[in-house]
Structure 1
């Protein structure tokens, strides 16, 4: 799938959740789980949220309703409310959030989704009490209730104490009835929010019309395609079962100059996919052989032989479709490549099968000149946009494999000629470790899986820095007096690109390649599937 490919840990959260957040055994009073909430104005809310496994006590029998809640605790209960999974990502920007801490995964999940930021670029202050204005900001962000409220009619007598960065959020949660002031007419923005106040706040969220239903709903169904590469069938199946992939694309077919189809179909994988509710769009390649591809495309009889041979295999093995991955096609073969796709589309559609075609972003170079995006988009069911190789093995200067701006430009360009519901955005489960010359040019680059990338980060004790402009972490190190730089792909960067697909209303996403990912990515992507489908209107 990567055009230069031919040339070429699980991080676990130690410890368990702290007692302040774990569900505890019920107290002697069977009517309530804690002994100290009888006189709390939030008694009913505490009990309800406890039963929903969102809030818990500070001990087996106490809730401590008047105690302030910490940033780590607030983010954890907010994640539970949003039905997010803790993420054991190996990369964090915060020096004060230990990977062994019980709250590490909850903070990682929230940071990856941009629900919360640190108190600085390198600190999160997990034990710091959350103020009421901070709680307002977190809730407004988490439930997509943002925007200017310059004309808000806040009448609190201490309105002037509300920070500029919090005033809109306070106005929003006030208008929605999620947070109100006290009986004296004050909002108390700088006061720590207590555990019982938090219970009332979360209860109000669940009472909003439609919000609880959204939280309970399943994510929208999208195509999630995963290519097989470098794995045995058993390894591929194992990774698929841990993933959110619903469409498999094994590398089974290659077409040569005469139209003959090289066939390595694995019938056991085909049967396994059907029994596990997965579709198969088998990949069809050209081995990046430009001359053989030219002979194939320029011959009507060779094209027909290829189409008939491929369609026969789709029928024979009960496949759901094909994924055409022709690379290094000469610009002169543009019309004939479109003709091949058109002919194959007619044949597959007569069988009730799908046809998808892989294309690189249109950068106005010879590499993509053979692809008539508009014409291909009319014939194929789906166009798979390979959102990577921004910088590749032949690049003079190092850089990201797939920065967010690069993918945004690629998507916006193809959307000019192809409908959004026919586009699948392919995301990278691989990266490059760049070795640099003293003048900053590329000395060499190593193709690495994301697990290998993370092992390098751990081995050298790197402290990656998040680049909001690129949507990626960046880290550098020296090895044998040679500088190396990695523009990192991790859960945070991958789901930023996943969000692009959702916001652009694309048909789905694809991953090149299954087995290249680090295991923590699947929790990140499951969170993205849930969260980016919420609207909270």
Structure 2
């Protein structure tokens, strides 16, 4: 069967741990992790009882970790998923005899099939005091998945280390990390990645990690048809969301980061309750777009942990199904910090039964896309929302389409090639077009889809030419002041054609910015065949 579906093979009714960074927001559990890149992972795993430090109050993050120590920590971390725990089974190695501190750990691991002699050299014993290598931990992890209810099967010719690396097991380690061996800080990050991968497997219909991953649906097993609320009142947004029967997932844009590192905004639980009753999921959007503010927020492990705590608490209080992160214009040097933040947040959300998603600009967006490690993010979050709109944007002085078929396909292909699993990629589409003054193209304005359609229907806009590159009609109109404008018809038919890529490429679904720019009657044309609208 190759790589199997984890969700259908694994039934975890509850998680026995949760993120506990709030308890350590001001007081860390160890005296020597204040500047460690692994601080959040160390805090979380310590709070869960999966790892520990030393009697003198230190963790020794830069000290090597042995095979025995790592295996003990891994068994603790994965116990909710594998059911394997330390026990003296009577089977062991000549150098790990009864009375050794890790006898019960190594004994249980061997009995459970975690120690594969084809992958890890145990010809002279277990070598419990050898420094743990990436190959060691990859082999332990893959064997644990193979011999548990996950029933993982490696693709033919794939080694555990290749599989683990492609799966994201070593994401978050700094560039300066030893490429072969792990220290205790490295181990904490790897253990948290193991935990995240297992948590994600319980929330996705298919197993997305590793080579050859396939799929065609979002986290719920149903294609996502998403719409963003923006700029309205809670009451008006709710009315609109309930009426938009084509939409099965609503993203409420209501929480934004201020200079005090606090997300401002609120959303009553009644909002999500009403939409849940209508059969829709609700995600809360947490946004920030100031480079200086994002630098402050992401480069500090303490600030990242505080943001994670806020997002989880606010999302839980609002009774939403997940958090959507919209961090834009992130400085390029924060790539690893942004990835680490999303790993930490995803772990925390999953522990509370919620999903994670992130909005990303297309790779060709210059500085706006510089900090997105698409592959790493795609292996971390439940869904990546690709903003395939503003191909021609307000800052362009050369008019063009807001979105076009070849441009969208090219950007989708890039993300898939970068390692974003197809069934975690949501195609973002605009519900607006843009018009430029014909005699002064430095002046432009957006036109909602509904307005554009009414202009064409009334004859206010007169078709002028066909743009050969985009395959879209270019229309002109004169406003009430006598100024002439031109725009590309990014209309319902165009959106349907481009949106069909989500079906063709078996993506998680499709999303639209922003709800309210369309009329209800246009949905039947906009939504491509294959993304069925729910019946409410």
TM range (shorter): 0.5 to 0.7
1:515 corresponds to: 516
Counterparts of 1:520 and 1:464, CA distance in 2: 26
Change (3 A) 1:499 1:467: farther
Bigger shift: residues 272-281 or 253-262? 253-262
Instruction: Write the mapping of 1:408-423 to structure 2, written as runs, cut at 5 A.
Output: 408-417=409-418, 418-423=420-425
Please report how far the alpha carbon of residue 329 of structure 1 lies from its aligned counterpart in structure 2 after TM superposition.
Answer: 1.2
**Structure 1 segments unaligned to the other structure (5+ residues):** 1-219, 533-537
Q: Does 1:344 align with 2:345?
A: yes
Tell me, yes or no, if the aligned pair for 1:257 and 1:296 is still in contact at 8 Å. no
2:450 corresponds to: 451
Please report how far the alpha carbon of residue 239 of structure 1 lies from its aligned counterpart in structure 2 after TM superposition.
Answer: 3.0
Counterparts of 2:239 and 2:403, CA distance in 1: 27
1:497 corresponds to: 498
Counterparts of 2:267 and 2:438, CA distance in 1: 42
Tell me, yes or no, if the aligned pair for 2:225 and 2:531 is still in contact at 8 Å. no
Scaled by the length of structure 2, what TM-score is found?
0.54
2:357 corresponds to: 356
Deviations 1:458-506, CA, capped at 9 Å, x for gaps: 3525236555752433212355675421101211001011111110110
Tell me, yes or no, if the aligned pair for 2:298 and 2:304 is still in contact at 8 Å. yes
Counterparts of 2:502 and 2:237, CA distance in 1: 25
Please report how far the alpha carbon of residue 377 of structure 1 lies from its aligned counterpart in structure 2 after TM superposition.
Answer: 0.9
Change (3 A) 1:234 1:317: closer
2:162 corresponds to: none
Deviations 1:428-458, CA, capped at 9 Å, x for gaps: 0112111133xxx723001221122234333
1:136 corresponds to: none
Counterparts of 1:278 and 1:307, CA distance in 2: 25
Deviations 1:102-147, CA, capped at 9 Å, x for gaps: xxxxxxxxxxxxxxxxxxxxxxxxxxxxxxxxxxxxxxxxxxxxxx
2:462 corresponds to: 462
Aligned counterpart for 1:425 among listed residues 424, 427, 451: 427
Tell me, yes or no, if the aligned pair for 2:461 and 2:475 is still in contact at 8 Å. no
Tell me, yes or no, if the aligned pair for 1:324 and 1:356 is still in contact at 8 Å. yes
Counterparts of 2:227 and 2:525, CA distance in 1: 16
Tell me, yes or no, if the aligned pair for 2:323 and 2:357 is still in contact at 8 Å. yes
Counterparts of 1:361 and 1:315, CA distance in 2: 30
1:380 corresponds to: 381
2:487 corresponds to: 486
**Aligned-partner SS, 1:497:** helix
1:250 corresponds to: 252
Change (3 A) 1:531 1:349: closer
Change (3 A) 1:354 1:475: same
Tell me, yes or no, if the aligned pair for 2:499 and 2:528 is still in contact at 8 Å. no
Counterparts of 2:227 and 2:406, CA distance in 1: 23
Tell me, yes or no, if the aligned pair for 1:491 and 1:520 is still in contact at 8 Å. no
Change (3 A) 1:483 1:252: closer
Scaled by the length of structure 1, what TM-score is found?
0.54
Instruction: Write the mapping of 1:392-407 to structure 2, written as runs, cut at 5 A.
Output: 392-407=393-408
2:285 corresponds to: 283
2:7 corresponds to: none
Instruction: Write the mapping of 1:4-403 to structure 2, written as runs, cut at 5 A.
Output: 221-240=222-241, 241-286=243-288, 288-363=289-364, 365-403=366-404
1:41 corresponds to: none
Please report how far the alpha carbon of residue 530 of structure 1 lies from its aligned counterpart in structure 2 after TM superposition.
Answer: 6.7
Deviations 1:209-267, CA, capped at 9 Å, x for gaps: xxxxxxxxxxx930111100122334323333233111111112222345322232133
Please report how far the alpha carbon of residue 517 of structure 1 lies from its aligned counterpart in structure 2 after TM superposition.
Answer: 1.3
Change (3 A) 1:382 1:461: closer
2:473 corresponds to: 473
Of structures 1 and 2, the larger Rg is shown by: 1
Tell me, yes or no, if the aligned pair for 2:426 and 2:511 is still in contact at 8 Å. yes
Counterparts of 2:519 and 2:318, CA distance in 1: 32
Change (3 A) 1:464 1:222: farther
Counterparts of 1:244 and 1:263, CA distance in 2: 27
Tell me, yes or no, if the aligned pair for 2:423 and 2:506 is still in contact at 8 Å. yes
Change (3 A) 1:509 1:518: same
Tell me, yes or no, if the aligned pair for 2:379 and 2:421 is still in contact at 8 Å. no
Counterparts of 2:278 and 2:266, CA distance in 1: 21
Counterparts of 1:420 and 1:529, CA distance in 2: 16
Counterparts of 1:508 and 1:222, CA distance in 2: 5
Change (3 A) 1:531 1:275: closer
Count of aligned positions = 309
Please report how far the alpha carbon of residue 318 of structure 1 lies from its aligned counterpart in structure 2 after TM superposition.
Answer: 2.2
2:136 corresponds to: none
**Aligned-partner SS, 1:332:** helix
2:157 corresponds to: none
Tell me, yes or no, if the aligned pair for 1:256 and 1:293 is still in contact at 8 Å. no
Tell me, yes or no, if the aligned pair for 1:257 and 1:302 is still in contact at 8 Å. no
Please report how far the alpha carbon of residue 420 of structure 1 lies from its aligned counterpart in structure 2 after TM superposition.
Answer: 0.6
Counterparts of 1:271 and 1:320, CA distance in 2: 11
**Aligned-partner SS, 2:392:** coil
Counterparts of 1:511 and 1:374, CA distance in 2: 23
Tell me, yes or no, if the aligned pair for 2:463 and 2:473 is still in contact at 8 Å. no
Instruction: Write the mapping of 1:519-530 to structure 2, written as runs, cut at 5 A.
Output: 519-525=520-526, 528-529=529-530
